[in-house]
Amino acid sequence: MTQPDLTGIKFFIQTFGCQMNENDSEHIAGILSAAGARPVTAPDESNLVVINTCAVREKSVEKLYSLLGRLSKFKKDKEYLIGVAGCVAQLYRSDILEKKPCVDFVIGPDNYWKLPEMLKSHFQEKFIATQWYRDWHEIPEIQRTTAVSGYITVMEGCNNFCSYCVVPFTRGREKFRPAQNILSEAENLASMGYLEVQLLGQNVNSYRDPETGTGFSALLEAVDQVQDLVWIRFITSHPKNIDPQLIHTMQQAKSICHQLHLPIQAGSEAVLKRMNRGYSRKEYMAVISHLKDAMPDIALSTDIIVGFPGETEADFQQTLDVLEQVRYTNIFSFRYSARPLTAASRMEGSIPLEIKKERLQRVQDLQKKLQSEMNQAKVGKIYDVLCHGKSKKDPQVYSGRNYAHQVVNFSSGQECEGKFIRVHITGSGPYSLKGRAPD
């Protein structure tokens, strides 16, 4: 198929949300560039703005609408297009076009590959592209935003229907990318000099190769064989799909970081059940023990939701207790917010905002204390750090991440960007480490 020509289009992409969305924006940029369009770095230099939205938590629509308010001043004529992509697009579809006349098109996550064709055939007409496709659509060109760590999508969608979560409605059912394509992308990144890859999906460890039926551990083992990749990470894993084979693979592999993001969401058995998470607290804690037994240096992180409908103070205490027991390297914590179409949005026992705020503060205070202690104990150690570039706060200082995915800010007399540097840790805070590279 010949690509429709979009020469003359100068696009700017605004991204909200997680790594998955960042990677989707790299895909959209690749698709548009392959069709002849050109990226620019500010909306006022562009004639096409794509807003890639996230709908996981509340305020997504307000955030989108306020940005549209600001962007609409650039739209003086019909030659300036504004498109809404991502989960909010999938969820609200025609509502967006009705409520915001400045929007020209709405495109859901399963439809990006069609964007050039849609733009070409509907230029200056409004369109909505939010169909679901059963097959995997390979994106031939990706325009990456960093040259150090490369994202690789391995699967899309989710079948779990956690009762609070909108993702199964915005990203659809699970769809897996052929392992061969994943491996080619990993090899390609390694040959371009990337030292790290991060395999991405809503639920990476439910992966099955659509061609051979082999699972996630086999995929990891194959990526581990790629020459010159030093670190491999993957996100997000579901606790119910962590099996002994995966733990064994992580332990034996040469390049897989001993680091795992394993969202627990809540510490109370009763809350976990109402969340429809598919594991008990006991089962989750057993997985943590197996991981720590196999890899004593493993760095764990998690997601926490506070104030889920019906969460009592005693339930909440159970969440604090998990933090004390597991001692996560870091956590992402959120106040529960009701999302459209979800089962939890219809549950009774809504928790007052004040209590949700107070619980979130307590979670964050406890975790800050634990991280301060754990990081303090790292002073004096030496870590290999993959340097991502200069620190945003202080251009005298380099910034990178260690195997545990912790931020390490360090000084060095040499150019470090894109390299592995041995860093001597000289100081710590709750959210990062500080160090020095030997001269």
167 exposure class (CB count in 10 Å sphere: 0-12, 13-18, 19+)? buried
Q: Does 158 bind ligand SF4 (CB under 6 A)?
A: yes
The contacts of residue 62 (CB under 8 Å, 6+ apart) are none
In this chain, which residue has its C-beta nearest to ligand 5AD?
Answer: 303
The DSSP output letter for 157 is -
- Whole-Å CA distances, 427 to 331, 378, 437: 21, 8, 13
Q: Which is nearer to ligand 5AD, 281 or 339 (CB)?
A: 339
Q: Residue 171 Cβ, how far from ligand SF4 at the closest point, in Å?
A: 8
Q: Residue 405 Cβ, how far from ligand SF4 at the closest point, in Å?
A: 19
Q: Which parts of 241-260 interact with ligand SF4 (CB under 6 A)?
A: none
Distance, in Å, from the CA atom of 317 to the CA atom of 191, rounded to the nearest integer, reads 49
Specify the stretch interacting with ligand SF4 by CB under 6 A; choose among 81-89, 100-108, 153-161, 350-358. 153-161
- Minimal CA–CA distance to 202: which of 13, 326, 23, 403? 23
Q: Which is nearer to ligand 5AD, 236 or 255 (CB)?
A: 236
Distance, in Å, from the CA atom of 85 to the CA atom of 212, rounded to the nearest integer, reads 32
* Rg (the chain; Cα; Å): 22
Distance, in Å, from the CA atom of 23 to the CA atom of 177, rounded to the nearest integer, reads 15
- Of 203, 255, 268, 330, the one binding ligand SF4 (CB under 6 A) is 203
Q: Tell me the residue type at 329.
A: T
Q: Residue 22 Cβ, how far from ligand SF4 at the closest point, in Å?
A: 16
Residue 72 contacts which entry, ligand 5AD, ligand SF4, none (Cβ below 5-8 A, type-dependent): none
Q: Does 202 bind ligand SF4 (CB under 6 A)?
A: yes
Q: Residue 337 Cβ, how far from ligand 5AD at the closest point, in Å?
A: 4
The contacts of residue 433 (CB under 8 Å, 6+ apart) are 375, 378, 383, 402, 406, 407, 408, 409, 425, 427
Q: Does 165 bind ligand SF4 (CB under 6 A)?
A: yes
Q: Does 167 bind ligand SF4 (CB under 6 A)?
A: yes
Per-residue x/- track, 324-343, ligand 5AD (CB under 6 A): ----------x-xx-x----
Which residues are near ligand SF4 by CB under 6 A?
158, 160-162, 165, 167-168, 202-203, 238
Which residues are near ligand 5AD by CB under 6 A?
56-57, 164-165, 263, 265, 303, 305, 334, 336-337, 339
